[in-house]
Structure 1
Amino acid sequence: MTTLLPFVSALIHRQTDSLFPLEYNQNLIESADLLIAMEYFASCLTHISGKYYAQHLNQNDFYHSDKYAVFLYYLAHTLYSHNKIDCATQIYCLNKALHSVDMFYEVKLPKIFMLTHPVGSVLGRAEYSDYFCAYHNCGVGSSKKNGITHYPSFGQGILMYGGSRVIGQCKIGDNVIFGANAFIIDTDVPSNSVVVGSYPNHRILPNSHNVIKDIFGLDSNP
């Protein structure tokens, strides 16, 4: 891990300097912050098996845009947790600039999640669980009822295909797939379901697939 630190540090500083050449202070990102984010990143990757996923962190992981977007989220969130808000904001903006994805550093995404060409996706405030996967143009966000803001909650093993949306007071069970362009608002979904169509004409169907096995490549549920 530490052998990658100089490379990752140089990469982050060069990219961020290109966006914020007058304001950015390289000393704001300390080695300790980078190492924590890299540890989160490495741990996440060990729970994903596939063509582009090796079990040991290497430089190629930082050149794979889907994975790099995950790392930048972990870095921004780590900086935020250390009260380095200005720097966290710049890393958050860097992620948006590079990948057109919105994952705000205050949002607590799970320890194990995966992005697949996530251009245009906004993963907002919600209660997330491990083994969450989002494709392009997905949306997770809030709704308001009687002046109260409500957010979704997700069980383990969630797959959001392109264009799907989960908004508001939605309690989503385990092993749930949202089909392309599926949309729900303030609607609960039981475990082992597939959601298709748009609210209020959406449908909830039985799910014969296993998200953790089929998407994350694990032989069985953790």
Structure 2
Amino acid sequence: MQLSLDRRDLSLYVRKQFENLFPDGADLADLPKFVELALGRIEYCFSRVRLKGFFADGRARFSHWHSDQYAIFLYYLANSAFRERPGHPIADKAYALNKALHALDAFYEVELPDVFAVQHPVGTVLGRGRYSDYFICYHNCTVGANLDNDYPSFGRGVVMYGGSRVIGKTSVGDNSFVSTGAIIIDGGALEADSILHGIYPNAGRSRTARNVVRDIFGV
């Protein structure tokens, strides 16, 4: 994988960001290990993403200057720290740093898939739904619970365009597009190969011949 900073320098870079924003003296000795875990997940993910800047010349590319890539890295860093040592302060710091830098709320306990992407995700909140590979979201999207604490699930290859919301007991089928501004609440089981549009309670669906994995991810 091509990196804009080598692993040691990337760990030092993240450490300085933590110490600048959270000067509490918390133990960061495990940071290089968690950065290594996050980079392993980045390489697996970006190797399967053909968005501009993510993959070239037969290998994944990661740049700490590419804000969408760095947002994904910080999620993987927080989630990896949580998986390895629940309660570790690095998980909280990486999660909070992601919100501060990118206005992306992807909590470290949320299990985002092994292959996903974000595109200018300012104002996006990804709650405790069930996600599958080839998920992508844009700005100001929300995945959240209804009043009964039911969360959505997403099949393989789902796009959430800007301003869309998927809430509650909703199962979005494989290869589906959630249109800009759509609000889907307790939508039930929605068929694969769909375009979801409209606003609850008048939301609807149409068929699509497009393919998320091919047309959006370029695979």
Cα deviation digits, residues 120-165 of structure 1 (max 9, x gap): 00000011000000000000011134xxx21111100000000000
Contact 1:28/1:84 (8 A) holds in 2: no
Match of 1:101 in 2: 104
Q: Which moved more, 1:20-29 or 1:68-77?
A: 20-29
Match of 1:78 in 2: 80
Cα deviation digits, residues 68-89 of structure 1 (max 9, x gap): 1001000000100122522200
Matched, 1:170 2:170: yes
Structure 2 counterpart of 1:16, one-letter code:
F
Contact 1:16/1:24 (8 A) holds in 2: no
Q: Distance in 1 between matches of 2:84 and 2:48?
A: 26
Unaligned runs of 5+ in 2: none
Q: Distance in 1 between matches of 2:110 and 2:23?
A: 27
Cα deviation digits, residues 83-132 of structure 1 (max 9, x gap): 25222001100000000000000000000000000000000001100000
Contact 2:54/2:60 (8 A) holds in 1: no
Change (3 A) 1:84 1:27: farther
Contact 2:28/2:90 (8 A) holds in 1: no
Match of 1:6 in 2: 8
Q: Normalized per residue, which structure has more strand? A: 2
Q: Distance in 2 between matches of 1:83 and 1:43?
A: 22
Structure 2 counterpart of 1:171, one-letter code:
S
TM-score, normalised with respect to structure 2 = 0.92
The 5 A counterparts of 1:209-220 are 209-218=210-219
Structure 2 counterpart of 1:202, one-letter code:
A
Contact 2:196/2:206 (8 A) holds in 1: yes
Matched, 1:68 2:92: no
Matched, 1:141 2:124: no
RMSD, aligned CA: 1.6
Q: What secondary structure is seen at the aligned counterpart in 1 of 2:147? A: strand
Q: Distance in 1 between matches of 2:43 and 2:26?
A: 27
Q: Distance in 2 between matches of 1:176 and 1:186?
A: 17
Match of 1:15 in 2: 17
Report percent identity of matched pairs.
41
Contact 1:36/1:78 (8 A) holds in 2: yes
* TM-superposed deviation, 1:189: 1.5
Q: Distance in 1 between matches of 2:66 and 2:190?
A: 33
TM-score, normalised with respect to structure 1 = 0.91
Q: What secondary structure is seen at the aligned counterpart in 2 of 1:159? A: strand
Cα deviation digits, residues 18-38 of structure 1 (max 9, x gap): 101133333141x22211110
Cα deviation digits, residues 179-212 of structure 1 (max 9, x gap): 1000111113110000111011112011121111
* TM-superposed deviation, 1:54: 2.4
* TM-superposed deviation, 1:57: 4.6
Contact 2:176/2:195 (8 A) holds in 1: yes
Structure 2 counterpart of 1:117, one-letter code:
H
Q: Distance in 1 between matches of 2:144 and 2:25?
A: 31
Contact 1:158/1:174 (8 A) holds in 2: yes
Q: Distance in 1 between matches of 2:27 and 2:108?
A: 19
